[in-house]
Amino acid sequence: MNVYFGENALTQLSALTYNYDKFFLLTDENIFKIYSSMIASMIPEKEVNKIILPAGEQSKSLDNVVLIWNKLLEAKAGRDSLLINLGGGTISDIGGFAASCFKRGIDFINVPTTLLAMIDASIGGKNGINFNNYKNQIGLFSEPKSIIINPYFLKTLNERDILSGLAEMMKYAFIADVAFLDIDGDNYLDFIEKAATTKDEIVGLDMKESGLRKILNFGHTIGHALESYYIDKDNYLTHGEAVALGMYSSLLLSKKYCGLDEKWLFFYEMWFKANLNLLNLTDFDVDSIFDFIAHDKKNKAGKPKFVLISAPEKPQIDVEVNESDIIESISVLKEKFSA
Amino acid sequence: MNVYFGENALTQLSALTYNYDKFFLLTDENIFKIYSSMIASMIPEKEVNKIILPAGEQSKSLDNVVLIWNKLLEAKAGRDSLLINLGGGTISDIGGFAASCFKRGIDFINVPTTLLAMIDASIGGKNGINFNNYKNQIGLFSEPKSIIINPYFLKTLNERDILSGLAEMMKYAFIADVAFLDIDGDNYLDFIEKAATTKDEIVGLDMKESGLRKILNFGHTIGHALESYYIDKDNYLTHGEAVALGMYSSLLLSKKYCGLDEKWLFFYEMWFKANLNLLNLTDFDVDSIFDFIAHDKKNKAGKPKFVLISAPEKPQIDVEVNESDIIESISVLKEKFSA
């Protein structure tokens, strides 16, 4: 797998697509509206079959996988076909899954358009869909042939989605590299390539998440539960916002279980309130959030295990946490961050 | 992956399941009826969640994959769970696919109960389901942790299903080892282990079917088309019967394209009529069969390519065949073998 980065990264497309006969472009309505003419010029002189989904996490459904499979089948897609996933994490997640299961796998490449996808979701080969309201229950490990990270797309990204990406970048400070502690809404462009490389290096050491890769789940256990809880509600949370909240809970638990210095809680609360100021967390039911955690795929035999840290850059995986402490950490979130 | 063979192979189960916390047994109604008490004793002192599908190829549907995923989700299956696929190729195909996509993959083992599954379908990591009437359009390469081949199950297999397995064993004579030329309805038990080993060796050299493994598709291009054509008809064909017919067409094409000696056509026609005497091929439409081939996943960019042989043990992959010759070879099938 190759990662291409920079303002000219998109020019790689014509070389990367040279060996294929049929092209399928998966994207969402919003992206297609903004970039349709640019998309047409991306692979000149080649016909591109377009598959356009509604925007948003709700599109990561089995129904839409079936829609993609039908489009591939109608156009007689085969081993010489390439799927180009142009969009945020929703698009690369569902597209990677659909491609990997079609005729035992056709090639796909990811062209992330959101900050979150550029520094996290499009890298690492995890793909999947939501099922019965649970996040990513159905999916695979399957790497794209290439990833093209072109910051050009961020110019049209709305501010809430930019800010959502910041939390996942701050995550790298806690689990891997304190350089990311300096990130804010003004300087984040300078950190994109470093963040993508950090993710790629961690994944490269443990593709199937048998150990080390789990550190990437810092903040994600409670984050996923929050995201699942709000998925069918009007006031949804973005993935980045949910993880930003989950990280606060994880820092709280890190203090109790791993002796994390309390100053990091103050630092992160201040950073959160300064940067994720578009987050509007409506009231929620703590027990319902906890119920989602019982289904979280990172639990073994039903016992909740967390990634925690004893200090920035010092992650610990598989820390067993008492149910009462989890519930308390969710209650604190509610006090501190809900409207 | 380990293959256990013999009349006592099932005793391996208790050791193989030792490291798991939750067990799921996927099987079909017929097998469950016959072996329910034996199944209960297979993993003593452990609770086994049973998932029982209707018997037959029609069960290899996305609806049944969803049913399996729901059962796994309800019982909170996770990384410490094991799915045991007890049945023919239908069960290992759908079970392997469902397990491999659930939470990015839980472990599974195959316990084949049919001759065809013992010597072919359960080995090699190909899994999948039918989609829009096309065979195996959706699926993956994903190997079971173990395969347990216990000929005990063949005692209750009906004769038509035994005879169906013979054709896939004869296939090994054409592509890999002339020792299989001696196979018949009386001596096939002596060849099971050798057939399973032959398949496992070929797969081991080329898991993802980029070259050599394609030889296993001898007879399968037209075979799959016939199987797809009859899938929703009263007078269905078994997979083995369809492949048996497809192999005759492939031998015809081998004579034309690879100089195969005509004596092998006579030999195979005689062997076929002596051994597959329960096959009842109703009249079919040659053009409809050909339409299915255009969708066959082994074609690149729509040009039909076949595995042919210049002699037994001398396979050739990726032989491009003219449409008119394919259609003629299907027409000959109709003359020679249909009622």
pLDDT tens digit sequence for B163-222: 989 999 999 999 999 999 999 999 999 999 999 999 999 999 998 888 999 999 999 999
Alpha-carbon gap, residue B42 to A152, rounded angstroms:
59
Chain A residue closest in CA terms to B76: A295
Choice between B280 and A214, residue whose per-residue pLDDT is larger? A214
Answer whether residue B297 shows pLDDT above 50. Answer: no
Question: The tokens 């006579």 sit on which residue?
Answer: B266
Mean pLDDT score, B302-306: 80
**Two tokens, residue A35:** 């970039």
Q: What is the pLDDT of residue A40?
A: 73
CA atoms within 13 A on the CB side of B295: 24
Q: What is the pLDDT of residue A331?
A: 96
Q: Do residue B140 and residue A141 have CB atoms under 8 angstroms apart?
A: no
Answer whether residue B293 shows pLDDT above 60. Answer: yes
Q: Using pLDDT thresholds of 50, 70 and 90, give the confidence band for residue A297.
A: very low
CA-to-CA dists, residue B33 to A87, B38, B83, B156, B323, angstroms: 50, 10, 19, 11, 46
**Two tokens, residue A129:** 């869909």
B223 closest CA partner among B158, B182, B267, B168:
B168
Chain A residue closest in CA terms to B69: A138
Q: Using pLDDT thresholds of 50, 70 and 90, give the confidence band for residue B3.
A: very high
Local structure of residue A9 (DSSP, 8 states)? G
Are the CB atoms for A105 and A99 separated by under 8 Å? yes
Q: Using pLDDT thresholds of 50, 70 and 90, give the confidence band for residue B301.
A: low
Mean pLDDT score, B22-41: 89
pLDDT in tens, A49-94: 999 999 988 899 999 999 999 999 999 998 889 999 999 999 999 9
Q: What is the pLDDT of residue B296?
A: 59
Q: Do residue B69 and residue A294 have CB atoms under 8 angstroms apart?
A: no
Highest mean pLDDT among A97-111, A223-237, B288-302: A97-111
- How many A-B residue pairs are in contact by the CB < 8 A criterion? 92
Q: Do residue B300 and residue A102 have CB atoms under 8 angstroms apart?
A: no
How much is the mean pLDDT over chain A? Answer: 92
Chain A residue closest in CA terms to B22: A301
Answer whether residue A43 shows pLDDT above 80. Answer: no
Highest mean pLDDT among A10-14, A135-139, B37-41, B258-262: B258-262
Q: Which residues have CB under 8 Å from B30's CB, separation 6+?
A: B55
Chain B interface, best mutation among A73, A103, A317, by max B CB count within 10 A: A103
Chain B residue closest in CA terms to A133: B73
How much is the mean pLDDT over chain B? Answer: 92
Question: DSSP string covering B32-43, please?
Answer: HHHHHHHHHHHS
Closest in B102, B128, B132 to A104, CB measured: B128
Answer whether residue B43 shows pLDDT above 80. Answer: no
Q: What is the pLDDT of residue B134?
A: 83
At A54, the amino acid letter reads P
Q: What is the pLDDT of residue A11?
A: 86
- Percent of chain B at pLDDT above 90? 74
Among chain B, residues having any CB pair with chain A shorter than 8 Å are 21-22, 62, 66, 69-70, 73, 76, 78-80, 97, 100-105, 126, 128, 131-132, 134, 137-141, 209, 294-295, 297, 299-302
Are the CB atoms for B181 and B256 separated by under 8 Å? no
Q: What is the pLDDT of residue A12?
A: 87
What is the b/e burial string over B104-128, where b = at least 16 CB atoms within 10 angstroms of the residue's CB?
bbbbbbbbbbbbbbbbbbbbbbbbb
pLDDT in tens, B312-328: 999 999 999 999 999 99
**Two tokens, residue A122:** 């499009």
Answer whether residue B244 shows pLDDT above 70. Answer: yes
Q: Do residue A79 and residue B22 have CB atoms under 8 angstroms apart?
A: no
ipTM of this complex:
0.87
